[in-house]
Amino acid sequence: ELKVEQNPLFLSMQEGKNYTIYCNYSTTSDRLYWYRQDPGKSLESLFVLLSNGAVKQEGRLMASLDTKARLSTLHITAAVHDLSATYFCAVEEFYFGTGTSLTVIP
Amino acid sequence: NAGVMQNPRHLVRRRGQEARLRCSPMKGHSHVYWYRQLPEEGLKFMVYLQKENIIDESGMPKERFSAEFPKEGPSILRIQQVVRGDSAAYFCASSAKPYEQYFGPGTRLTVT
């Protein structure tokens, strides 16, 4: 079974700082998703990455994919409080990471 | 265009009862996925359906759980003889084409 590991599991960061969330997976795949989930809410799709070297950006979030390393990253630039949420990566539609709970502190 | 609808949003069942969770995909979407999320955990894939067909049920427990997506009407996830361990949030997602999923608001099942 394909395994997906995210780290860190918990991330507390100050507003204005940059940080990266990592998503490693155990076997090759051709698609990688990033989602955001607010407490008690459903999942919001952020990015889908379909090829090696793919990079997508939306606002302060940028996601990248290295299929050879089986690694995706979600980079946060100049964090703001509104980004506080749990972020999940998922390989294909079937294998989700454990999530990274992000808290942005003023 | 309405989003993915799930009902009920909250469901309380006693041990041994049946739970029926409904998912109405977005208009034009013929693919439905069901997931379970335990408290403080990530999502676990359960089943992937297209109209009238189960495509992948590898994440579905072998007993007590079943799913369907009929030609007309919503997709239904059915849990028979619920136990406390079934308490979780159940999400469905729909898509019309690959790589584009839209999630419903979820059904929070509590088994007492």
Q: How many percent of chain A have pLDDT more than 70?
A: 100
Phi, psi of B108 (to 5 degrees): -95, 110
Distance separating alpha carbons of residues A49 and A29, to the nearest angstrom: 11
Which positions in chain A touch B100 (Cβ < 8 Å)? 45, 48
Q: How many percent of chain A have pLDDT more than 90?
A: 87
Which positions in chain A touch B103 (Cβ < 8 Å)? 42-45
Residues in chain B, pLDDT under 70: 1
Which positions in chain A touch B34 (Cβ < 8 Å)? none
Measure CB to CB from residue B42 to each of A44, A93, A97 and give the nearest one.
Answer: A97
Distance separating alpha carbons of residues A68 and A83, to the nearest angstrom: 29
Per-residue pLDDT of A52-93, as tens digits, reads 889 999 999 999 999 999 999 999 999 999 999 999 999 999
pLDDT, greater one: A51 or A36: A36
CB B6 within 8 A of CB B108: no
Does B96 contact chain A (CB < 8 Å)?
no
